[in-house]
C-alpha cells in the first residue's frame, strides 16, 4: 500500500517536471494533488500570499486539488477492496465531481489571464523520510482502527476518522480498507464508507484552514464557500 501511494506521488511529480513550469496554478493543483492535496494547497496558498491577484485562479486550483483527493481515494480504495466502489462512488465520487465543476467555473471566472500565471514546482515525490513517515502513520492506523472498533464501536471509529483525516487521510483510509478486506470483526462495508467519508471531510476542512491562514482571508473565504457546499452534499450522501 505504501508502494502504491509512493508510485502515485512519483507519477504526479514526473508529470509536473515534464510539462514545465509555465502551465499555471491549475496544473499545480491537479498534478500536485496526486502526491498530496494538502501539500498542493499549502504551496498554492503561499503563492497567493505573494501575489494577491491570483486569488480567483488559486481558488480554482485548490478546489481541483481537493477533487483529486476524493477521486484518488476512490481509485485506491476500489483497487484494494472493490466491494467499496458502489458506496464510495456516492461518498467520494459526488463531491469529487462537484469540486471539479466548481473549480472549472471559478477558473473561467478568474480575473487573471492564465498566460500571466507561472506554475510553482510540483510537490516533491516521497523520499525515504516521507515513505517511513507514511509507513508509520499506516502502521499506527492499522493498530488503532481494530482497537478502537473493539473498544468503542462505530462511535470510536468515526472520531478516529475525524482526527486521522485532519492529519493525512491516506493512512487511515488504507487501514480501514485493509481491515475490511481482511474481514476484521466490527468493520463492515457501511461503517467503512461512512468512516472514509468523514475522514475526507475532515481533511477538506483542514485545507480550508490552510487557505485562510497561509493564503489570506480572501482566498480562505472563497475556498471555504466552495468546500462548504460540497461538505453539505457529502453529508447528505453519507446519510443516504
Cα(162)–Cα(238) distance, integer angstroms: 14
Q: Which three cell numbers stand for residue 108?
A: 473561467
pLDDT of residue 133: 58
Among 127-131, 174-178, 206-210, name the one with the lowest average pLDDT.
Answer: 127-131
Split into its structural domains, the chain has a count of 1
Per the structure, the complete domain to which residue 204 belongs is given by: 2-119+126-239
Crossing angle of helices 55-80 and 25-50, rounded to 10°: 130
Contacts of 206 (CB under 8 A, 6+ apart): 38, 165, 166
pLDDT digits (tens, 9 = 90+) for 29-75: 887 787 778 777 877 887 777 677 778 888 998 999 999 988 888 88
Shortest CA distance to 106 belongs to which of 66, 162, 70, 155? 66
Contacts of 140 (CB under 8 A, 6+ apart): 171
Amino acid at each position: 500500500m505504501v508502494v502504491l501511494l509512493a508510485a502515485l506521488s512519483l507519477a504526479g511529480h514526473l508529470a509536473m517536471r515534464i510539462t514545465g513550469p509555465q502551465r499555471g496554478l491549475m496544473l499545480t493543483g491537479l498534478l500536485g494533488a496526486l502526491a498530496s492535496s494538502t501539500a498542493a494547497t499549502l504551496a498554492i496558498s503561499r503563492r497567493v500570499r505573494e501575489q494577491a491577484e491570483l486569488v480567483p485562479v488559486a481558488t480554482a486550483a485548490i478546489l481541483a486539488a481537493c477533487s483529486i483527493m476524493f477521486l484518488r481515494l476512490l481509485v485506491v480504495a476500489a483497487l484494494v477492496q472493490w466491494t467499496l466502489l458502489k458506496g464510495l462512488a456516492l461518498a467520494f465520487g459526488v463531491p469529487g465531481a462537484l469540486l471539479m465543476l466548481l473549480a472549472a467555473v471559478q477558473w473561467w471566472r478568474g480575473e487573471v489571464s492564465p498566460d500571466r500565471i507561472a506554475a510553482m514546482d510540483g510537490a516533491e515525490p516521497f523520499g525515504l523520510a516521507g515513505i517511513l513517515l507514511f509507513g508509520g502513520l499506516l502502521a499506527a492506523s492499522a493498530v488503532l482502527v481494530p482497537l478502537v472498533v473493539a473498544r468503542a464501536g462505530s462511535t470510536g471509529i468515526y472520531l478516529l476518522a475525524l482526527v486521522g483525516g485532519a492529519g493525512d487521510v491516506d493512512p487511515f483510509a488504507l487501514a480501514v480498507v485493509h481491515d475490511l478486506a481482511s474481514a476484521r470483526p466490527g468493520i463492515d462495508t457501511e461503517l467503512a464508507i461512512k468512516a472514509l467519508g468523514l475522514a475526507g471531510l475532515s481533511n477538506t476542512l483542514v485545507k480550508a484552514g490552510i487557505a485562510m491562514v497561509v493564503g489570506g482571508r480572501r482566498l480562505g473565504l472563497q475556498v471555504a464557500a466552495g468546500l462548504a457546499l460540497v461538505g453539505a452534499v457529502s453529508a447528505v450522501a453519507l446519510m443516504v
